[in-house]
Chain A
Amino acid sequence: MDMNPVDIAVHDLVVNFGQVRSVLTGVDLAVRRGEFVALIGASGCGKTTLLNVIAGLVPAASGTVTVAGSGPAAGRADICYVLARDALLPWRTVMGNVEYGLELSGVGREERARRAATYIEKVGLSAARDLYPSRLSQGMRQRASLARAFAVDRSLYLMDEPFSALDSQTKLVLHDQLLGLWEKSGATVVFVTHDIGEAITLADRVLVMSKKGTGVVDEIRVDLARPRSAEALQADAHYHDLYRRTWTSLRASAQ
């Protein structure tokens, strides 16, 4: 992993909201290709803003941002952004929603149906593929959203707290499904969360961001073997060591 080329490079980034308030100042970040990085920090630390800069949704006031060799731009064909809310179209079934992402990516009708069915099966929603989102639980909706995201097979995934609305049991199931989808994809992931357990379960590196908006203040390398199982990790002593270490760091960052 450490040998892979840098996929996302952020240097001396400054982001302002309006004329006066600066949200981020002097932020540096490097993410290697195929790496799963979790951004964690107290609310207001600018983690989502940093993600949105990489996605091309928020302009940088100064500094450089390079994503796979070029500047950030919204709607790039090599990036997939997963929102905190599932953002499923209420008038499309699960199948229709997964096909929607493929349709917007220019995939032909037959290939679309085939790939959508495959990914719906991967997230265990085959029985619900003809249901409308209003008939699904929160967890099922988020699984459909994951299927839609990974069916399009992008090289970079930006995820903004996709599981924050779920209860802890459902979260574990979703973690395993995300890991399953990601491990086969080889994609780079930047995952924003405020949940320490989630960050350690999923990521190769957990980056702790300062509450003052000055960027990454600590890095925790998660040397847990892959493939991981979210449930099995709950009983893993090393997982809990990393948890304590991250917690201490996070508390320090908030002061």
Chain B
Amino acid sequence: MTDIANSEASLGSAVRPAGNRPALIFAARVLFLVLILAAWQGAVAAGLASAAFVSTPIGVAQSLWQLFRDGEILPDLGTTVLEIVIAFSLSVVFGISSAVVLDRNDWLNRIVSPFLTAFNSMPRIALGPLFILWFGIGIASKVVLAFSLGYFIMLLSTLGGLKNVDRDLLLMSRLFGASELRLFRHVRFPWALPGIFAGLKLTLIYCSAGAVIGEMIAAKSGLGVLLQSYSGRFDIAGVLALILIVALLVMTLTALMDMIERRLLEWSRGSTDVPG
């Protein structure tokens, strides 16, 4: 999510592009952040914007500090993280395995693909109240909502990768005597891996959104519940602080996936980063 894909590297250029110095980039990022925060704080201080509507960076920082100081947020944070983790894991496991099954059974793919497209085209968020009705106000309904978003992303990105596998690599392997299992292990799966990683990152983002929005509709605990009560009280700083927490959580997990991706896809040098 942090580096722009460097397509030149995959063309075999051995030279590192200029301006690729990590320290410099980092410093520029910090500067960028400071400028935005200063503009925000300055606009409120100068009376261009009202703190009652947009809060201030300092106000958000204070809310953040309060949330953690009392430990008030921890049970809710725990609920949301649990929902995200369960929904994400289910999306990954079922998404990838469905893609493998559909890739290997063309007739099945042709039968179900319009239904998959139809289901994926539905605004799942709008189904949130129905999920609450069917699965209760506990974590199950949020997991279902988040899964309904994440599953299709994982399925489609894996299937896309498996479908466009290089025919020559398959042919070469077959002619060397490879079994179907080996074809999958040595050709199909590695070929789909960049697509899978792109899918993983998007899935995480959508699972987080699904969980939080589900909680905002109706829940006993979770960051979404807090969000609802803060926005009801017009506590803008509190709302922004909570959103910041979710963003940081997702960014941390994404960074972790980026690290794994860089190791596994060292050969490609390109990046599967997608704007999310």
Residues of A participating in the B interface, judged by any CB pair closer than 8 Å: 55, 57, 74-77, 79-81, 83, 85, 87, 89-92, 100-101, 104-106, 132, 134-137, 152
Contact = CB atoms under 8 A, between A and B. Distances in A.
A90 B266 CA distance: 10
Nearest to B9: A134
A89 B171 contact: no
Interface of B: 10, 12, 14, 166, 168-169, 171-178, 182, 186-187, 190, 193, 265-269
A249 B153 CA distance: 59
A83 B172 CA distance: 7
Main DSSP-derived SS at the B contact region: helix
23 contacts: A57-B171, A75-B178, A79-B175, A81-B175, A83-B168, A85-B168, A87-B168, A87-B169, A87-B171, A89-B190, A91-B190, A91-B265, A91-B268, A101-B176, A104-B173, A104-B177, A105-B176, A105-B177, A134-B10, A134-B269, A135-B12, A135-B14, A136-B12
Contacts of A83: 168, 171-172
A105 B172 CA distance: 12
A87 B172 contact: yes
A105 B182 CA distance: 12
Given A74-B175, A75-B177, A101-B176, A134 B267 contact: yes
A55 B190 contact: no
A91 B178 contact: no
A101 B182 CA distance: 12
Given A132-B267, A135-B14, A75 B176 contact: yes
Contact of A75 (B166, B174, B186, B267): B174
Given A85-B168, A104-B182, A135-B14, A90 B177 contact: no
Contacts of A105: 176-177
Nearest to A133: B267
Residue among A55, A74, A75, A105 with most chain B CB within 10 A: A75
Given A83-B171, A90-B267, 20 more contacts: A55-B175, A75-B177, A77-B177, A79-B175, A81-B172, A81-B175, A87-B166, A87-B171, A89-B169, A89-B190, A90-B268, A92-B267, A104-B173, A104-B178, A105-B176, A132-B266, A132-B267, A134-B12, A135-B14, A136-B12
